[in-house]
Amino acid sequence: MILDVAARRADLTPERPALWWQGTWLSYADLDDRAARTASVLHEAGVGRGDRVAILAHNHVAHVDLIMASAKLGFVYAPLNARLAAPEQRAMAEYLRPTVLLHDAEAAAKAAATGVTLWSLDDHEARLEAAAADLPPVDLGPEDIQMILPTGGTTGLPKGAMLPYRQGFYNAVNTVMSWGLRDDDCVIQATPCYHAAVNAFTTPLFHLGGRVVLQRTFDPAAYLELLGTCDVSILFLVPTMFGMLAEHPDFGRADLSGIRWAISGGASCPEPVRAAFAKRGVGFRQGYGLTEAGVNCFSITTEQAQVRPGSVGKPVIHARAVVRGPDGAPCEPGAPGELTLAGEHLFAGYFERPQATAEVLRDGWLWTGDLATVDEDGFFTVVGRRKEMFVSGGENVFPSEVESAIYDHPAVLECAVVGVPDARWGEVGLAVVVVRRGASVTEDEIRSHLRQRVASYKVPKHVRFSDELPKSAAGKVLKQKLIPNELPATSDMGADS
């Protein structure tokens, strides 16, 4: 197993373009040289094997420099979520105890609050130019930790998921082989590098010798322009971002001729958004992954996705998946249960959180906390988070199913459904809806729309409208923030249980 991917790629394809950053293509030889210089600078600063090196910044070439340099010095890449507030940054720094923290100008105040030794990215290029690139190789193995990534949890302080080199290797192999990536593929990394999204395409394409365009933050107009100018072939975004592209005035004239397919991460992409891309000739696939399992856990072809638009497909080649009941026994086809995964792509555990690790890693299987079904043909469909499912009048309600039905309404731009307490039914649904610009819809119209599509007990008792939905940096809706402290004591309007 080759751990120093930068050095190997510089040997195999040194002049091939690898990373586009701020208008310039860096070759694989460039990436390897930058990685060596990054490792040298850190070594001179006293960073050694196993030390955490943090970065608090939006997407920046320094993220890639650190990832590639980790195998040259043995330190651990430990990015911090740039959206967290200063007290949260300090708490994360106290948890991870990084030796040094790189930061961009925007995050300077938050970085200062951590109490860690700071390096401003304003000096990053000068620091690399002054460095040597002649460190002796470090003796690392597949189980050494390369990254500690913050989990994408929506409540509380994130845990640090420890990702060994073994996990990165198998994630790359699984992605390339099961998704059919090619060495001429190009993707835009617009989702944050400080989340597991960096391992969705960026690190697998670096293994393969493909191209990555790094966008500092997602900007729909700039993204649409980059599609043609950088010969992008695959689209990877979260549903909110895809929706912003489809709504953008430039979408109709953007150059999508080179796009082989699009894949949605984080959540299922609403049908109206998929339809907008289909009109432009772009087929959609649904992805599924989580930080703890190498991000890319299932694969589905574009043709299969057209027949099963809600399915994530079948497990990637070096992975196993079983839907289980609470007793651990496999569920019957079509019956929902907790999705469990096994394979060499699993993480090594949570940093200094043995109890949390033991709760999710059991006998070689990762209990994901996600509810799924598998049909008789072996195709998996994720139906929601275990903690999000609620019981109304004795019936299980999966918010994702109700959300999918709400999205069928032409006036709906975004929506989210959560379970809230109810004196009669135990729990009922609360739907929060964002209406498209220029459109209008009432609560009763939403309920009437739903009654034609889902069982009566699934129709939310409460419907509220909002200008936007609260989201994490990974684009996931923060559903806990949607639950109000009080709800009106309405009658059974909308609760047709």
Q: Give pLDDT tens digits for 155-183.
A: 567 899 999 999 999 999 999 999 999 99
Query: Which tokens hold the place of 15?
Result: 């002049």
Dump pLDDT digits (tens) for 428-445.
999 999 999 899 999 999
DSSP 187: E
* Count of CA atoms in the C-beta half-sphere (13 A) of 40: 16
Counting beta carbons within 10 angstroms of the beta carbon of residue 22, is it exposed (0 to 12), middle (13 to 18) or buried (19 or more)?
A: exposed
- Percent over 90 (pLDDT), the chain: 73
pTM, two decimal places: 0.84
Structural domains in the chain plus CATH codes: 5-374 (3.40.50.12780), 390-482 (3.30.300.30)
Mean pLDDT, residues 283-293 taken together: 92
Cβ–Cβ under 8 Å, residues 371 and 384: yes
Mean pLDDT, residues 50-76 taken together: 98
Dump pLDDT digits (tens) for 431-480.
999 999 899 999 999 999 999 988 888 999 999 999 999 887 666 788 88
Side chain identity, residue 39: A
The sign of the dihedral angle between the CA atoms of 368, 372, 375, 376 is positive
Residue 493 has pLDDT above 60, yes or no: no
Closest by CA position to 298, among listed 200, 201, 202, 380: 380
The rounded distance, in Å, linking the Cα atoms of 86 and 355 is 27
Mean pLDDT, residues 388-413 taken together: 84
DSSP 209: T
Mean pLDDT, residues 280-306 taken together: 92
Cβ–Cβ under 8 Å, residues 175 and 319: no
Residue 483 has pLDDT above 90, yes or no: no
Report helix angle 239-247 to 271-279, nearest 10.
Answer: 50
Cβ–Cβ under 8 Å, residues 444 and 436: no
Mean pLDDT, residues 278-298 taken together: 92
The mean pLDDT of the chain is 91
Cβ–Cβ under 8 Å, residues 265 and 289: yes
DSSP 332: P
